[in-house]
Chain A
Amino acid sequence: GEDVEQSLFLSVREGDSSVINCTYTDSSSTYLYWYKQEPGAGLQLLTYIFSNMDMKQDQRLTVLLNKKDKHLSLRIADTQTGDSAIYFCAESPAFYGNKLVFGAGTILRVKS
């Protein structure tokens, strides 16, 4: 089955690192994604990782993938107030075309 779970809320101080965690169920997912949604806006792709990778770094973002445990994490270094948003983890089950299955989203609040 398809199911993606995330913690619902994370609060950090400006300048600290944020780590958002996600677990997924479908091991056939070729790609796993992190999307960001700012208030009143649509979702925008932040980063993605190919399923045969363990880690991907993109400027302040680090994605870690533990395929054995089906665990994905997003680390944001030097978190800024502009990073406050909802972060969605998504998997792409291989046999469902391009269907993405999203987690419930993690609300990140950055305190100055």
Chain B
Amino acid sequence: DTAVSQTPKYLVTQMGNDKSIKCEQNLGHDTMYWYKQDSKKFLKIMFSYNNKELIINETVPNRFSPKSPDKAHLNLHINSLELGDSAVYFCASSLSQGTETGVYTGELFFGEGSRLTVL
């Protein structure tokens, strides 16, 4: 029933490790995002995919690699984890344009977040 689901919800790992966070949406949206929320709650976009194509790639280290196998999934793989990568990572999805039946608002639907702690 969950609209945007991410796994895992919590991830504790050592510096230097590689980890992945998965995201799936069942809303029929064509655009998905990764946002990073730091310890001060500041929320910043990292990536956006539209129909499996990368459309937004903010200044993010190359250690972060998103992958979208289909438009309902967007995964985030992080290599060589660093202390500064500790944050809550939010997946989100949206439509990129209006539909015949609805008013387009550009609303993003967020997952519950994945809290990554790097020790």
Contact = CB atoms under 8 A, between A and B. Distances in A.
A98 B94 contact: yes
A102 B4 CA distance: 19
Report the interface size class on chain A.
Answer: 20 to 34
A42 B41 contact: no
Contact of B108 (A37, A40, A86, A98): A98
A98 to B, nearest CB: 5
B48 interface: yes
Interface string B28-71: 00010100000011111100101000011000000000000000
A48 B42 contact: no
Given A43-B90, A48-B105, A104-B40, A99 B110 contact: no
A23 interface: no
Contacts of A43: 43, 90, 92, 108, 110
Given A86-B41, A105-B43, A42 B48 contact: no
Contact of A92 (B4, B106, B113): B106
B90 A97 contact: no
Interface string A26-65: 0000110100010011111100100000000000000000
Interface residues of B, number: 26
Given A42-B90, A48-B105, A97 B41 contact: no
A98 B110 contact: no
A43 B107 CA distance: 11
Contact of A97 (B4, B43, B48, B112): B48
A32 B40 CA distance: 22
A98 B44 CA distance: 13
Interface in A47-103: 48, 86, 88, 92, 96-102
B105 A97 contact: no
Contact of A31 (B33, B45, B90, B106): B106
A41 B112 contact: yes
12 contacts: A31-B105, A33-B107, A41-B113, A42-B4, A42-B110, A45-B108, A98-B31, A98-B94, A99-B48, A100-B45, A101-B45, A105-B43
